């Protein structure tokens, strides 16, 4: 018993803000490195419980729904040496505050690229070809016969696709869209990318992308520069036959402006895997529109991807606690 007490004294306290895939929990409970305190729910940890849970923690494993700011870091106290997030995005982390305190950060890019790119293509096709509308018509008796002009949408063959943010996920989306017979692939962002050559990507100013694209896919990260990038002015430069798709972060879009653009025919349709807030209230105006397809942020949601993300987030955390190299450390 005394020996057991001594090891417990050496264990480092870890707070996990949600139930995560078993693959991750197994790694945390093995190896006698950490003592896990878990918010044992599938729902987000309330702010007060987060502030209480992190007290004295050496490590924090969080999700993109947890805002990790100065208040949380202060509540955690000086023991905190590593934050591991179960996500590729890190806009929920106050990096300046984290850096000030010398805390290391782990994240899970790359492993969710393929799943997120697949879902984005599925969303683009579902939106452009009006799948949810079609399903609804079948169920509500609106389907009377084959009709030449009914439920016509837009196809990728011969089209121009514009990708805003040709990063890991952006280029993975482009790679999957090209075999559909896309004619031109335009992209905009901070810098031209050498790897854009593999999808014949043309680096163009945003205004050019907006006015020439038939499909616009947003896959940039959320930063002060991209916050509400897609606003009234943005949508007014798009073709009125264009389809807009966002699988990055909800706050990149001004949703009131998107509603107006969709409602008054300024653009043809929109597919969103991300909104602000999440979940979107069920009485939100966007949900009244036939030409808006909204998914509940399921970009990376395949069984295998979530399992790998869970394991990677745990490995990052343990490495941070032990002061060794993380599989995926964020440099900032």
DSSP of 278-294? SSPPTT-GGGG-TTEEE
Strands 215-218 and 160-164 turn out to be parallel
Contacts of 256 (CB under 8 A, 6+ apart): none
Q: What is the rounded CA–CA span in Å between residue 111 and residue 211?
A: 33
- Residue 34 near residue 11 (C-beta atoms within 8 A): yes
- Contact criterion met (CB below 8 Å) for 220 and 226: yes
Burial class for 66, CB neighbours closer than 10 Å (0-12, 13-18, 19+): buried
**How far is it, in rounded angstroms, from Cα 17 to Cα 46?**
10
Residue with tokens 């680096």: 203
Catalytic residue (one of 4, 284, 297, 303): 297
Sheet containing strand 104-106, edge to edge, reads 34-38, 12-16, 59-62, 82-85, 104-106
Cis peptide before 273 (omega within 30 of 0): no
Question: For 61, which DSSP code?
Answer: E
Q: Rounded to whole angstroms, how far apart are CA atoms 321 and 318?
A: 5
Distance of alpha carbon 61 from alpha carbon 46, whole angstroms: 15
The yes-or-no answer on residue 284 being catalytic is: no
- Classify residue 329 by its DSSP letter: B
Q: Pairing between strand 243-246 and 215-218?
A: parallel
Query: Do 215 and 161 form a contact (C-beta atoms < 8 A)?
Result: yes
Q: Which residues are catalytic?
A: 297
């Amino acid at each position: 018993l005394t020996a057991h007490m001594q090891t417990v004294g050496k264990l480092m306290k870890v707070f996990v803000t949600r139930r995560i895939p078993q693959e991750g929990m197994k790694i945390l409970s093995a190896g006698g490195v950490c003592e896990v305190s878990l918010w044992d729910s599938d729902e987000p940890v309330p702010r007060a419980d987060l502030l209480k849970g992190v007290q004295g923690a050496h490590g924090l494993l969080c999700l993109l729904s947890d805002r990790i700011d100065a208040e949380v870091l202060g509540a955690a106290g000086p023991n905190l040496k590593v934050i591991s997030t179960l996500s590729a995005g890190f806009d929920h982390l106050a990096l300046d505050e984290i850096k000030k305190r010398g805390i290391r950060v782990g994240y899970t890019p790359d492993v969710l690229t393929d799943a997120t790119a697949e879902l984005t293509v599925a969303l683009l096709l579902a939106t452009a070809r009006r799948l949810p509308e079609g399903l609804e018509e079948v169920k509500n008796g609106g389907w009377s016969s084959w009709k030449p002009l009914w439920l016509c949408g837009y196809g990728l063959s011969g089209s121009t696709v514009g990708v805003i943010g040709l990063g890991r996920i952006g280029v993975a989306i482009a790679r999957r869209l090209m075999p559909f017979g896309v004619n031109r692939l335009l992209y905009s962002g901070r810098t031209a990318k050498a790897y854009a050559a593999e999808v014949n990507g043309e680096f163009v100013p945003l205004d050019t992308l907006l006015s020439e694209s038939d499909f616009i896919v947003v896959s940039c990260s959320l930063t002060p520069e991209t916050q509400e990038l897609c606003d009234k002015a943005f949508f007014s430069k798009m073709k009125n036959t264009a389809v807009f798709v966002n699988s990055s972060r909800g706050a990149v879009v001004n949703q009131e402006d998107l509603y107006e653009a969709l409602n008054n025919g300024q653009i043809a349709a929109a597919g969103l895997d991300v909104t602000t807030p999440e979940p979107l209230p069920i009485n939100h105006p966007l949900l009244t529109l036939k030409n808006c397809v909204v998914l509940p942020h399921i970009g990376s949601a395949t069984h295998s991807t979530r399992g790998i993300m869970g394991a990677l987030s745990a490995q990052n955390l343990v490495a941070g606690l032990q002061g060794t190299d993380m599989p995926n450390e964020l440099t900032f």
